[in-house]
Amino acid sequence: MPVAVGQVEVTTVALHEPAHREALWELEAAFDRGDVVTVYGTCTVEYDGRAASSLAEGRRLLLLKPDGTALVHTDEGHEPVNWQPPGSHHRAAVRDGRLRVRCTRESPEERLDVQFTAVNHLVSYPVSGRRSVEVIGTEADLKRRLVDDPELIEPGFSVTETERPTDAGAVDVFGTDADGRPTVVELKRRRVGPDAVGQLRRYVAAVQRATTDGDDSVVNTRDEVTSDTRDEVTSDTRDGSGEPRDTESGFPPVRGILVSPSVTDRAADLLAEEGLEHVALDPPAAGTRVPSDTDEDVVVGDTDDAEESGDETDSERDRHPRS
């Protein structure tokens, strides 16, 4: 059935309770056109490859994409119960009174067979658009905004590095204030509670440990710390135990600043108790995004220290269906 979308006419084909041969013909045509296809009906699912799994007969939704992706969904959750990644090949056939959809991959060698005893609904769509979605207002946007204008934190603040690794995790933004004190900045794009304060406290403690252990990249001069400065910071800067965060090492205490649109009352109390600070700042709104060469996080300083991507690989995903 032709459907008008804006000024472009596209063809969406929908078959209700088709015979297996009719479904087969439309699947083959849809594969040739490069359409996205959904097939709903009663089926079994068999996977063989790096592991092996099977699903007994049940009503499921099969989603096939022209890039080779295949997803088998039930009525629960957003994750498929079985799948094949991009780069696979779709084929359809009618065998032994069933409509079989087979999705294969060569490296590693894998096969997903979905066999329908009955097809209730089959639809093919000429979906387009690719990866054109732009997400606005993320923590990465906020980070870019601060790298571009560090004095949004406070006058004299300077960004030294982003995603700085510590033994407690990666610090969003690391820099120095107008007095040269090392400063940890934790970014949140929404109103936050006590958990965010605890996270910031752990980062501050980790950077302080690196400071007292002689990490020159944190503080490269101890001569800047005077007795007056030490007396001042030990009187009002505390760690999680309520003790002053400064030590006898002669290095300045590390400041901690939580940046978010707002905090809860309990979080505000904890910030005060811990000697930590809050700066109210929103991520850039739509239409005001800070320009960037890529969509990746901005990294200032030694990029070798940046955290590796946590992207999931094929081998790490669970191929077994739910019981």
The two three-digit tokens of residue 278, written as one number: 């809050």
Radius of gyration of the chain (CA): 28
Per-residue pLDDT tens digits for 172-195: 999 999 999 999 999 998 899 999
What is the pLDDT of the chain when averaged over all its residues?
Answer: 79
Phi first, then psi, for residue 245 (nearest 5°) are -75, -25
**Three-state SS at 269:** helix
248: pLDDT strictly greater than 90: no
Mean pLDDT of 203-232: 59
What pLDDT is recorded for position 183?
A: 96
Beta strands 255-260 and 277-280: pairing type?
Answer: parallel
Give the HSE-up count for residue 171: Cα atoms under 13 Å, Cβ half-sphere: 32
What pLDDT is recorded for position 211?
A: 78
What is the percent of the chain where pLDDT is above 70? 70
Q: Where is pLDDT greater, at 289 or 250? A: 250
85: pLDDT strictly greater than 90: yes
What pLDDT is recorded for position 136?
A: 66
Among candidate residues 81, 80, 105, the one with its CA nearest the CA of residue 91: 105
Mean pLDDT of 239-250: 46
Domains of the chain: 2-125 (2.70.180.20), 139-305 (3.40.1350.10)
What pLDDT is recorded for position 199?
A: 95
What pLDDT is recorded for position 215?
A: 58
164: pLDDT strictly greater than 70: yes
What pLDDT is recorded for position 303?
A: 33
Give the other-Cβ count within 10 Å of 58's Cβ: 12
220: pLDDT strictly greater than 60: no
What pLDDT is recorded for position 133?
A: 58
Least confident of 27-41, 83-97, 115-129, 285-299: 285-299
Grade residue 290 by pLDDT with cuts at 50, 70 and 90: very low
Grade residue 3 by pLDDT with cuts at 50, 70 and 90: low
CB of 185 closer than 8 Å to CB of 199 = no
314: pLDDT strictly greater than 50: no
Mean pLDDT of 119-137: 79
Mean pLDDT of 233-247: 42
Per-residue pLDDT tens digits for 100-114: 999 999 989 999 999
